[in-house]
Homo-oligomer: A and B are copies of this chain.
Amino acid sequence: MSEEKKERKKEEAAQLKAEIKEMREHLMGLQQTIRAKGLPIIVLVEGWAAAGKGSLINELISELDPRFYNVVSPVITPESESRYPFLYPYAKAIPENGKIMFYDSGWMEDCVRKYMHREITREEYKKRIGAVNEFERQLRDGGYLLLKLFVDIDGEEQRKRMRALRENFETEWRVTREDLWQQREYKLFRECYETFMEKTGKLIPWHVLDGKKKNQAARDALKLLTKQVDKALEEGRYVGKPFEEDFPLIKMPKLASVDLSPALTDEEYKKELKKLQKRLGELHNIIYRKKIPVILCYEGWDAAGKGGNIRRIARPLDPRGFDVMPIASPEPHELARQYLWRFWTRLPRSGHICIFDRTWYGRVMVERLEGFCSEDDWKRAFNEINEFERQLTDWGAVVLKFWIHIDQDTQLARFNDRQNTPEKQWKLTEEDWRNREKWPQYEAAIDEMLEKTSTENAPWFVIESNDKKYARIKTLKIVIDALEKACEAQLA
């Protein structure tokens, strides 16, 4: 190299470093505004083994306040998480408002690797790509800033780097068998990465960085990040517009048209209950063994009898294999994240049954009617929830949703009974009376919910509960029927 060229190179390097320094400081200066405005940021760093993802992240965070960001490496999370939907570790790790989460490789690596290993079929792989697009859109629509980076190196460079790592005793362990396999199959991997980026880059684009030029990659990443943050802070929190997607829907009756007269005698009830609970207990064993996850969702009017109904389901179950998740109003750390987060983190492991006592449908009922979210938010939720539930059933879950239904007179009678019975008074709150006044608005919202979210894979069932005994038996039968089908399907 000529002296002149060397000089120019040196100048360029100095220039690069100055740029990096400047942008880092700019980002540092933004921290407070990000926090004050509550902007949540996700930086997904994907790329080749040995491409330098870790050190790129280190460049990005080096001046940041540690209270302000976190780094997760979901790929190396415990095996146990394979008993959850594939997006589970990523959904679980989303940052709260005003913080940055760096994913040191994430859902791309996960999908591509499993597909390359043939741990998932081509069809499953396609579904996962669909789910990734849904997941990313939901985050964006929920106000998250999502930056997706891919650190690229060519096969020759990767080979050299891995050799260097393996020659040093201290770093040898860093090259896994998996990495060596990637190196051998570099071409196939490249194809697969490229297709993945193409299929998931439409809504939120990928940015490919040159991993061979470390400083340049750091500069480019910082530039992208600061630019997007500047823009997001200027424009304010993004709220996604609602839109309709095609889901295979089951036609539901309007609540007003539901006949609430069905009832059972004590004798019929006792006989049926015993028989059905015995059967459910047996099925629970099979479910557990076959590792089928089961999610039962309960919604219903106040005093409709949700609690007693749930208890009749829970009674024959082995307590080791099920959980009841009571859902109250969200806590601060839950409010600070996308609204489905608190449900993602409560999902059962495969083989377990989770009974949700109230659910994510709060979004299109109480949150809608009380104005706890914007109109766009709840309108978008119908689709988002359908997507979420499809991800659950694609994972293999049985998802059943019960609307425990009574009429207004029955509710009033039960409210009065509660008021007049000292042991039951705690069950009745001021809020129950207030909700009762809004019956017509709730009924309209519920009708819309049933119409738009009763999908073939995750259907709603209206449970007539003026007679609680009838309601319990009906619910038990539906659960048993669905579990029997799921067990048979897995057998085939």
Interface residues of chain A, those whose CB is within 8 Å of chain B, are: 29, 32, 35-36, 54, 57-58, 61-63, 65-67, 70-71, 73, 76, 78-80, 83, 102, 104, 170-171, 173-174, 282, 285-286, 289, 307, 310-311, 314-315, 318-320, 323-324, 326, 331-333, 355, 357, 423, 426
Contacts and interface: CB of A to CB of B under 8 A. Distances in A.
A323 B70 contact: yes
A323 B69 CA distance: 10
Contact of A78 (B66, B71, B79, B315): B79
A257 B315 CA distance: 65
Given A67-B326, A73-B319, A104-B320, 17 more contacts: A32-B426, A54-B318, A62-B311, A63-B311, A65-B307, A66-B307, A66-B310, A66-B314, A66-B324, A66-B355, A67-B324, A71-B319, A78-B78, A78-B79, A79-B79, A79-B80, A331-B331
B319 A104 contact: yes
Given A65-B307, A66-B310, A357-B66, A319 B78 contact: no
Contacts of A62: 311, 315
A90 to B, nearest CB: 15
A165 to B, nearest CB: 11
22 contacts: A32-B426, A54-B319, A54-B320, A57-B319, A61-B314, A61-B319, A62-B311, A63-B311, A65-B307, A66-B307, A66-B357, A67-B324, A67-B357, A73-B319, A78-B78, A78-B79, A78-B80, A104-B320, A170-B282, A331-B331, A331-B332, A331-B333
Contacts of A307: 65-67
A83 B78 CA distance: 10
A331 B310 CA distance: 30
B170 A286 contact: yes
Contacts of A57: 319
- Of residues A319, A323, A355, which shows the largest number of chain B Cβ atoms within 10 Å of its Cβ? A319
B170 A285 contact: yes
Contacts of A320: 54, 71, 73, 76, 104
Contact of A326 (B58, B66, B310, B318): B66
A324 B71 CA distance: 9
Nearest to A289: B173
Contact of A171 (B54, B63, B285, B326): B285
A311 B66 contact: yes
Contacts of A319: 54, 57-58, 61, 71, 73, 102, 104
A83 B80 CA distance: 13
Contacts of A79: 78-80
Nearest to A105: B320
Contacts of A76: 320
A393 B35 CA distance: 36
Nearest 8 pairs of A and B residues by beta carbon: A78-B80, A66-B324, A67-B326, A71-B319, A73-B320, A32-B426, A57-B319, A80-B80
A13 B232 CA distance: 71
A423 B171 contact: no
Contacts of A66: 307, 310-311, 314, 324, 326, 355, 357
Nearest to A31: B426
Contacts of A71: 319-320, 323
Contacts of A289: 173
A42 B70 CA distance: 34
Contacts of A70: 323-324
A310 B171 CA distance: 25
Given A70-B323, A332-B332, A315 B58 contact: yes
Contacts of A36: 426
A289 B332 CA distance: 37
Contacts of A67: 307, 324, 326, 357
A311 B324 CA distance: 42
A48 B65 CA distance: 51
A393 to B, nearest CB: 24
A226 to B, nearest CB: 15
Contacts of A355: 66
Contacts of A32: 423, 426
Contacts of A310: 66
Nearest to A349: B78
A291 to B, nearest CB: 12
Contacts of A58: 315, 318-319
A287 to B, nearest CB: 12
A237 to B, nearest CB: 20
A319 B102 CA distance: 9
